[in-house]
Amino acid sequence: MAAELADSEPAIKSFYSPEILSQLDIRKIPQHVAIIMDGNRRWARQLGHPPMFGHWQGAETLSEVVRAASELGVRTVTVFAFSTENWFRPETEVEALMGIFETYLTRKKEAMVRDGIRLRAIGDLSKLPEAIQLAFCDTAKATERCSKINLVLAMNYGGRDEIRRAMQSILSLYQKQQLPDGNITEELISGLLDTAPFGDPELLIRTSGELRISNFLNWQISYAEIYTSDVLWPDFTPKQLFNAVLAYQKRTKRRGT
């Protein structure tokens, strides 16, 4: 049995009633939400299916969650799609994941344009297969004028690798004598990270009950609120996203006080 990504998606629908939305303070919606989409393989295994079945379903879940986030007023959703460590998975699984990425980028392009989703990416995409790089560039170009929400795919991404690349950029600036007084500030480092155009996430969501950040946005989540859910990613719904945002709003956020 194999799952497939839908070639098209239904017209935009409302995920939340006015009564539900009234529970939120629209002034305190996290503008940048990061998600570690964990549990695809376990979800498939529980149903007696191969891992790829879970990854296909996880891709469909992503589409729905991004549209729901847009309805809540979130401006950017950054998801951990493929880490630098994922290359160590079985070769057949890696190849299948690459196929899912290419299919997702191609088949979801029109829906992204329709829904106002602007596609972007972080990570070192140069290591990905050429077909995926081309598919990404095509969809990113098609959605570049979309303005409702940014969907940022972390692909071949690792938090430590991102910081390493930023340090290399700082070294290059120094060698070119473009680093005033040799002063390295937090603002300088942040501006050289992949996420510079989007800012740091205020909320990090991890599914499947795991309690670690797994080398994801190590620098950026220093002050993010962390929300964990026992739900496996393919079963994560707009309702669970709402619950995460509601929990975020109920917390008292402090920075050194």
Residues 93-121 pLDDT 10s: 999 999 999 999 999 999 999 999 999 99
Q: Which residues contact 69 (CB under 8 A, 6 or more apart)?
A: 33, 77, 149, 241
In this predicted structure, what is the pLDDT of residue 180? 74
Question: What amino acid occupies position 155?
Answer: M
In this predicted structure, what is the pLDDT of residue 8? 55
249, containing H or E segment:
helix 238-250
Categorize the per-residue pLDDT at 2 as very low, low, confident or very high, splitting at 50, 70 and 90. Answer: very low
- Alpha-carbon 224 to chain mean position: 15
Give the domains, in start order, of the chain with CATH numbers. 27-158+199-250 (3.40.1180.10)
Least confident of 4-18, 87-101, 167-181, 187-201: 4-18
Answer yes or no: is pLDDT of 195 > 60: yes
Candidate list 7, 25, 40, 86, residue with the active-site label: 86
At 109-165, the pLDDT tens digits run 999 999 999 999 999 999 999 999 999 999 999 999 999 999 999 999 999 999 999
What CA–CA distance (Å, rounded) separates 233 from 100? Answer: 16
Q: Where do we find the tokens 């919606």?
A: 29
In this predicted structure, what is the pLDDT of residue 72? 98
- Alpha-carbon 80 to chain mean position: 5
How confident is the prediction for the chain on average, in pLDDT? 93
Radius of gyration of the chain (CA): 19
Q: Residues of the chain with pLDDT > 90: what percent?
A: 88
Annotation says 86 is catalytic? yes
At 18-56, the pLDDT tens digits run 999 999 999 999 999 999 999 999 999 999 999 899 999
Answer yes or no: is pLDDT of 11 > 60: no
| C-alpha distances in Å from residue 241, one per residue of 33, 38, 82, 144, 238 | 10, 14, 21, 25, 5
Tell me what the mean pLDDT of segment 176-200 comes to: 92
Candidate list 25, 38, 230, 235, residue with the active-site label: 38
Categorize the per-residue pLDDT at 9 as very low, low, confident or very high, splitting at 50, 70 and 90. Answer: low
Q: Which residues contact 239 (CB under 8 A, 6 or more apart)?
A: none
Closest by Cα among 214, 210, 225 to 160 = 214
In this predicted structure, what is the pLDDT of residue 152? 98
